Amino acid sequence: MNVDLGRVRTQIQTMVNTLIESIPNLIVGLVVLTIFLLLARIAKNFAIRTGKRYGHSVNLGLVTGRLIQWAVGLTGVLVAISVVAPSFQAKDLISMLGIGGLAVGFAFKDIFQNFLAGIILLVTHPFEIDDQISAGGFEGRVESIETRATTIRTYDDRRVVIPNATLFTEPLRVDTAFGQIQSEYEIHLKNGIDFNEARERLQKAIAAIAEVLHDPQPEVLLNGLGDDNVTLLARWWTAPRYSGSVYVRHKVLLAIRESLSPVAPHPAIAGQ
């Protein structure tokens, strides 16, 4: 097999000359890309600081900063490629990604759905970090809100990652949306007991607990009449924290038992 060495040398020389001629464009392209990456980082940090200063959610500023960083960075890549290869145009990239982008869209449909749901949640912020929520069969404190999913810490110290699409499309309960949470307990008293006196004792005993809020005031209401018993419903309000409300409930039940002891030696008490 004969090899035309002269032709090979000519091709190599042509490639080397082309590479040497493109060095200035490569340098300019790298400089342009570096400038855009620096601008992307500056824009991201500015968005994060703005979100912390004026926004309702720290995560919203973080996500917005990331989106801006990606957009500016992608623009920088396209501009740098155009500098290195002047014949390249953005429409060429769009044509290349046409069918492939459609396939990727179908493959990552759930990811895009969660991403859009996360953006809407961060903008509307129905809940924020440290709120206590119940969704998807789980309850806990919100640790982070990302574009794909929200992470909560359950009351038994487990970490649960809930897709944002679930939070957006299914019922969501925010226990800490307001500055208080109501608890209640049902009490059955046997007939013959002065339920007015019992009611006053219960209301005073519950109100005497320091952790029980006084606005609104705790109350004990007549909730039912039976053949051999009277049903009272005790209601009180506490700060909207699960651990605190459980502890307060314990103190309320002890107060109920102690306050009923002088009224009835063995009162029939049932809660729900």
User: Is the pTM for the entire model greater than 0.85?
Assistant: no
Please enumerate in sequence order all residues whose Cβ is within 8 A of that of 214, keeping only pairs 6 or more positions apart, or say none.
207
- Give residue 133's domain range: 126-174
Give the number of domains in the chain: 3
Distances (CA, A) of 209 to 88, 195, 205, 255: 75, 21, 7, 8
Same-domain check for residues 157 and 188: no
pLDDT tens column, 83-131: 777 666 655 555 655 555 555 555 567 778 888 888 888 878 888 888 9
Distance CA 16, CA 8 (A): 12
* Mean per-residue pLDDT, 21-47: 80
216 upstream amide cis, omega within 30 of 0:
yes
Q: How far apart are CA 61 and CA 52, in angstroms?
A: 7
Statement to judge: residues 140 and 50 lie in one domain: no
Axis crossing angle, helix 109-124 with helix 58-84, rounded to the nearest 10: 130
- The SS3 assignment for 206 reads helix
* 119: in domain: no
Residue 161 shares a structural domain with residue 185? no
Local structure of residue 108 (DSSP, 8 states): T
**Residues 4-32, mean pLDDT to the nearest whole number:** 69
